[in-house]
Every structure is written in structure tokens, then in C-alpha cells.
């Protein structure tokens, strides 16, 4: 049986880990991911580094946890967007993806720029798989609402996700003329033709 003190310690552990992750995000937003170290986080929170190493053994472990948090947040936002009217659901999901990326660009970059994090394999983190499953289910529901089916559900999911990621990444890098608003407009206007190419029936 779990005691009250055990529950309290577990709650305090979760709260401390959340504070460490938030501090890492703040440092990354201010100075970039290269500036994020366990010692820098410890200094910001006014803890000694050994205390923090009790929660994360390395920067890599912390970034992996942060990536998982990010994909869980993204999945939640996609799920909310997918609850809207079928006719506007595709644009709503793209808008949710865009808003998530630009609300937390440092987190988005960590989620998509970490070496050694596998995607599309059995080793893909569960949080990332959940985000892809949410996206795929929503795309299938949109197709069914239009009296059609996805010709290749996995391929459609990869294609649409890659398109959104590409638009966001290019916009973040300033590679689309006209700035982020024009980039977002171009993304939304291309959604329907791209989706239509994924359906049959």
C-alpha cells in the first residue's frame, strides 16, 4: 500500500522534474539549446548540480524527456482541433500544428532536431506515436465524412505531417518570402489539394 509520505515524495519528484524542464525551455528560448546544461539549469533554479543529477543523469536524458512532453502537448492540441466540424477540421488541425510550433519554437526544434531519436520504427517514443495516431485517425475521419477513404492511411499521415513540418521549418528559418503570415496562408491553401490526392472513393 502506498503511504501518504510516498505519494508526497512522488508528487515532489514530478514537480521538480517539471521545473527542470521548464527552466531548460526558458534557457533554450533565450540562448539556444547549446546553452542548456544541467549546471546552467541548476544555477537558474538556485540548486546544486548534484541535486539535479538525481532527476536527469545527462542533458540528453533531459532533452528526451522534453521531446516526450512536447509530443504529448502536440497530440492534445491536434485532438482538440479534430473535434471541430468536419468541413473545417483539416485547416483547424494544420492551424493547431502551426500554433504549437510557433508558441514554443525551442521545444519544437528539440522535438524535431535530436540525433538518434527514431521515427517510424519500433523504437519511436510512445508520445510521438500517439501524436501520429491522433493525426492519422483524424485524417481518416475527415475522409469518411466526405464519403471516401484514405488510399494509404500510413502514407497519407506521413505525407501530410511532412508537409506541415516542412512549411513550419522553412517559415521558422525565414526561407519563405513574405514572412510567417504568408507562409501560413500558403500552407493552408495547399492543404485541400494535398489531402485530395490521398483519398479514394
Grouping H, G, I as helix, E, B as strand and the rest as coil, residue 173 is coil
Rounded to an integer, what distance in angstroms lies between the CA atom of residue 25 and that of residue 48? Answer: 19
- Distant-in-sequence, close-in-space partners of 136: CB < 8 Å, separation ≥ 6: 153, 154, 156, 157
CATH number of the domain at 1-57, please?
1.10.10.60
**Would you tell me how many other CB atoms lie within 10 Å of the CB of residue 169?**
15
- Distant-in-sequence, close-in-space partners of 10: CB < 8 Å, separation ≥ 6: none
- Predicted confidence at residue 116, as pLDDT, reads 46
Domain limits, the chain = 1-57, 64-200
Q: What is the pLDDT of residues 87-140, one digit of tens each?
A: 899 999 999 999 999 998 988 988 887 554 556 677 778 898 999 999 999 999
pTM greater than the 0.75 cutoff: yes
- Predicted confidence at residue 161, as pLDDT, reads 96
Pairing of strands 199-200, 149-150: antiparallel
Q: What is the pLDDT of residues 138-179, one digit of tens each?
A: 999 999 999 999 999 999 999 999 999 999 999 999 999 999
Q: Which residue has the higher pLDDT, 194 or 60?
A: 194
CATH number of the domain at 64-200, please?
1.10.357.10
Amino acid at each position: 500500500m502506498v503511504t501518504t509520505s510516498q505519494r508526497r515524495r512522488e508528487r515532489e519528484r514530478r514537480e521538480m522534474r517539471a521545473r527542470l524542464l521548464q527552466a531548460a525551455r526558458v534557457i533554450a528560448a533565450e540562448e539556444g539549446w547549446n546553452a542548456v546544461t544541467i549546471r546552467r539549469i541548476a544555477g537558474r533554479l538556485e540548486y546544486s548540480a548534484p541535486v539535479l543529477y538525481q532527476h536527469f543523469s545527462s542533458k540528453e536524458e533531459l532533452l528526451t524527456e522534453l521531446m516526450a512532453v512536447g509530443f504529448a502537448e502536440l497530440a492534445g492540441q491536434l485532438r482538440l482541433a479534430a473535434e471541430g466540424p468536419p468541413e473545417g477540421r483539416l485547416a483547424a488541425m494544420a492551424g493547431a500544428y502551426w500554433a504549437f510550433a510557433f508558441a514554443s519554437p525551442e521545444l519544437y526544434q528539440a522535438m524535431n532536431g535530436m540525433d538518434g531519436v527514431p521515427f517510424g520504427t519500433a523504437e519511436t517514443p510512445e508520445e510521438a506515436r500517439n501524436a501520429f495516431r491522433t493525426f492519422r485517425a483524424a485524417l481518416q475521419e475527415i475522409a469518411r465524412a466526405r464519403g471516401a477513404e484514405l488510399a494509404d492511411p500510413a502514407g497519407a499521415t506521413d505525407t501530410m505531417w511532412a508537409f506541415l513540418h516542412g512549411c513550419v521549418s522553412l517559415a521558422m528559418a525565414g526561407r519563405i518570402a513574405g514572412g510567417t503570415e504568408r507562409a501560413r496562408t500558403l500552407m493552408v491553401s495547399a492543404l485541400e489539394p494535398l489531402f485530395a490526392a490521398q483519398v479514394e472513393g
